[in-house]
């Protein structure tokens, strides 16, 4: 959520930054400024009336002490009380209207974010490794059928389209990848592991900005008061919501595995074939809570931690920076990690590493006390470290051999219990 003071004092700046996103949200700034002015005017009038009522109450007390008639003053106090009740209703309504509108406005892109309307304007920041030299590679669907790694037909029978049921070596490989990533991030990168609930309250979804904008894509329960987690970002980032941390507690670094649930599963086409875009998938998530002055250094570090997974697995990938028109709703700056998929002959996104600055912290009232004793909003960051099953698909496609087996990276073999899948 944006700072209303920034909007109040620099509306043109806010409009200009929002305009680079291309969503038309800058048109709402005038409405916010109007509501804010009306709310503050009502609050000023309320303060004046409360002061007047307090003054008159003292005068009434003095008159009664002297035995004088205080009826006229009492009538005035009752009238003021009615006016105060009306103004309280007005300020409450204005507060709600202002907050509801603020919740619908996205974050401001970082000033140095590349300008662009859509993903075609995303620049490549760097690449690592080389594309595997595989003549006529099979895709993960064909490999999955050959090695019985998953059973899409029975998954559909159980849950409908857009779900996976891993089987045999496929289930073991999925588990091995999760364990490998958790061990890497906890042991080498020194993140604290959490195992959070898979259901979260509505206010937590608002806190990390999934709601209200993306509610149709979420799986809600209890009349929209509980939600299946769309990502571990939600419970983990909300871990300290409504708390004030000490400066020496920052940065906080968390890693968590959860399944992720999302209604949106893509339009018809190659992306929906197999396991590239599904309603339920596994993910290891990295979350950081930092002081504002450290957050962009921590973003580079978080991105490097996610990259390390692909490097150890020996998978070719590239990093792109999202342009202003392609940024997520709450992000100020984002790097996407895209792994090469030989079977798709395309790059697949397996991580988005983002700095939300204080956008999420304001929504969840997450603060820290700085060295001067002032309470300030934290900055929050997150990124997949990494997301499955796209990683699974790229891994088996990159590991296919001319003999028909799937060769596994050395680092994964102790977790899987074998060097290859045959």
Q: Annotated active-site positions, please?
A: 262, 277, 349, 352, 390
What is the crossing angle of helices 71-102 and 29-66, to 10°? 160
For residues 194 and 203, what is the distance between their CA atoms, to the nearest angstrom? 20
Q: How many residues in total does the chain contain?
A: 422
Distance of CA 320 to the CA centre of its chain: 18
Coil, strand, or helix at residue 406?
strand
Adjacency order of strands within the sheet including 346-355 = 124-128, 317-321, 333-341, 346-355, 379-387, 280-290, 252-261, 192-194
For residues 384 and 84, what is the distance between their CA atoms, to the nearest angstrom? 51
**Beta carbons of 359 and 259 less than 8 angstroms apart:** no
CA atoms within 13 A on the CB side of 386: 33
For residue 278, count other CB atoms closer than 10 A to its CB. Answer: 20
Coil, strand, or helix at residue 323?
coil
For residues 19 and 108, what is the distance between their CA atoms, to the nearest angstrom? 9
For residues 290 and 395, what is the distance between their CA atoms, to the nearest angstrom? 33
Adjacency order of strands within the sheet including 375-377 = 244-246, 367-369, 375-377
Read off φ and ψ for residue 234, nearest 5 degrees.
-70, -60
For residues 234 and 407, what is the distance between their CA atoms, to the nearest angstrom? 35
For residues 367 and 345, what is the distance between their CA atoms, to the nearest angstrom? 45
Look at the block and give the residue holding tokens 């045959």. 422
């Amino acid at each position: 959520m944006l700072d209303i003071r920034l909007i109040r004092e620099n509306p043109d700046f806010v409009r200009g930054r929002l305009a680079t996103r291309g969503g038309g949200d800058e048109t709402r700034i005038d409405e916010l400024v109007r509501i804010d002015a009306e709310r503050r005017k009502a609050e000023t009038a309320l303060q004046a009336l409360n002061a007047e009522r307090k003054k008159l109450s003292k005068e009434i007390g003095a008159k009664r002490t002297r035995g004088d008639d205080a009826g006229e003053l009492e009538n005035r106090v009752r009238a003021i009380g009615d006016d105060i009740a009306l103004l309280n209703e007005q300020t409450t309504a204005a507060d709600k209207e202002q907050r509801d509108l603020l919740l619908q406005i996205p974050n401001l892109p970082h000033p140095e974010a590349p300008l662009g309307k859509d993903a075609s304007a995303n620049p490549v920041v760097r690449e690592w490794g080389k594309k595997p030299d595989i003549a006529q590679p099979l895709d993960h669907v064909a490999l999955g059928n050959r090695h019985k790694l998953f059973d899409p037909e029975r998954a559909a029978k159980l849950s409908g389209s857009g779900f996976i049921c891993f089987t045999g070596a496929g289930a073991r490989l999925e588990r091995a990848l999760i364990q490998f990533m958790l061990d890497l991030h906890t042991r080498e990168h020194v993140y604290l592991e959490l195992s959070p609930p898979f259901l979260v309250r509505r206010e937590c979804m608002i806190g990390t900005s999934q709601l209200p904008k993306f509610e149709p894509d979420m799986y809600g329960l209890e009349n929209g008061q509980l939600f299946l987690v769309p990502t571990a970002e939600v419970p983990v980032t909300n871990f300290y919501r409504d708390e004030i941390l000490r400066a020496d507690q920052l940065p906080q670094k968390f890693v968590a595995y959860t399944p992720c649930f999302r209604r949106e599963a893509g339009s018809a086409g190659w992306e929906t074939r197999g396991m590239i875009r599904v309603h339920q998938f596994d993910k290891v998530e990295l979350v950081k809570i930092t002081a504002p002055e450290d957050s962009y250094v921590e973003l580079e570090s978080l991105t490097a931690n996610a990259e390390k997974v692909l490097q150890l697995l020996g998978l070719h990938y590239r990093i792109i920076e999202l342009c202003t028109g392609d940024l997520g709703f709450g992000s100020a700056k984002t790097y996407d990690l895209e792994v090469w998929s030989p079977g798709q002959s395309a790059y697949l996104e397996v991580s988005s590493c983002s700095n939300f600055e204080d956008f999420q912290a304001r929504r969840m009232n997450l603060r820290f006390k700085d060295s001067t004793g002032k309470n300030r909003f934290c900055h929050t960051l997150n990124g997949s470290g990494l997301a499955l099953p796209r990683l699974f698909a790229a891994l088996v496609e990159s590991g296919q051999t001319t003999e028909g087996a799937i060769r596994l990276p050395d680092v994964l073999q102790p977790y899987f219990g074998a060097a290859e899948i045959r």
